[in-house]
Chains A and B, each alone.
Chain A
Amino acid sequence: SQTIHQWPATLVQPVGSPLSLECTVEGTSNPNLYWYRQAAGRGLQLLFYSVGIGQISSEVPQNLSASRPQDRQFILSSKKLLLSDSGFYLCAWSVTSTNEKLFFGSGTQLSVL
């Protein structure tokens, strides 16, 4: 069966520090991969998605970047965090052929202080 791993679960970082969140998927090949952010009182906001290694689409211009160095690995990064980067970050995957039914990781609660 397919599983998705996301870490860390919580993270407290100072403003201006770098960020690296990692997500890996097991049990499937060539998945679509996604990074979402969930802010309090707001819907999930799609940040990045990837349909293959090295292929990244950005939905919102921001202080963040994403990379997909391996088929089942998706990384969210920042060189210098802003206060506004605080939020709940979720990695998700879907089956490439149907592009539906997202399966989410357990999320990372990021607090930038």
Chain B
Amino acid sequence: EDQVTQSPEALRLQEGESSSLNCSYTVSGLRGLFWYRQDPGKGPEFLFTLYSAGEEKEKERLKATLTKKESFLHITAPKPEDSATYLCAVQGAGGGNKLTFGTGTQLKVEL
């Protein structure tokens, strides 16, 4: 069974204070690892897909990286508008169309 564990559960940063969110996973045959952003009371919004170890993707202040056991979402010089819950999910070879999600990291960026 595919499993995803995200840490920390919550993170409070000052504006401009860079940090990283962790997503540890176990999966049988990784087909893709996904990062989503979710604002309160809204549906998740797609950020990145990573397919193989060593792959990196960037979008504005966010950079996602992937190893064989975990993924990191690096946030550089965050702003208050980056405050949200960040979700990680994996799609394994044996899961068909199913994504397995972690419980997320709730990020709050303060002025």
Contact with B along A3-41 (1 / 0, CB 8 A): 000100000000000000000000000001010000001
User: What total count of A-B pairs have CB within 8 Å?
Assistant: 54
Known: A44-B87, A46-B98. Contact between A100 and B32, CB under 8 A? yes
- B43 engages A100 (CB within 8 Å): no
A101/B46 contact (C-beta < 8 A), A43-B4, A51-B97 known:
yes
Instruction: Tell me whether A66 is interfacial, beta carbon within 8 Å.
Output: no
Q: Across the interface, name the chain A residue whose C-beta is closest to B5.
A: A43
A101-B34, A101-B49, A105-B43 as given contacts; A43 in contact with B98, CB under 8 Å: no
- Give a binary string over A43-66; 1 marks a CB under 8 Å from any B CB, 0 the rest: 110100101000000010000000
Q: Is B102 touching A49 in the complex (CB atoms < 8 A)? A: no
Complex Cα–Cα for A109 and B42 (A): 10
A65 to B3 Cα, complex, angstroms: 26
Q: Which residues of B contact A44 (CB under 8 A)?
A: 44, 87, 89, 99, 101
Kindly list chain B residues whose C-beta atoms are within 8 Å of the C-beta of A51.
97
Residues of A within 8 A of B100 (CB): 43
Residue B45 at the chain A interface, CB threshold 8 Å: yes
Interface size class of A (residues with CB under 8 A): 20 to 34
- Chain A residues 80 to 109 lying within 8 A of chain B, measured CB to CB, are 90, 92, 94, 99-107, 109
CB neighbours of A107 from chain B (8 A): 41-43
- Are A100 and B91 CB-contacts (below 8 A) given A105-B43, A107-B41, A109-B41? yes
In the assembled complex, which residues on chain A have CB atoms less than 8 Å from the CB atom of B102?
43
CB of A108, distance to nearest CB on chain B (Å): 10
Q: Is the CB of A103 within 8 A of B4?
A: no
Residues in A with CB closer than 8 Å to B87 are 43-44
Residues of B within 8 A of A (CB): 4, 31-32, 34, 36, 41-46, 49, 87, 89, 91, 96-104
A-B pairs, 3 with minimum CB distance: A104-B43, A43-B101, A44-B101
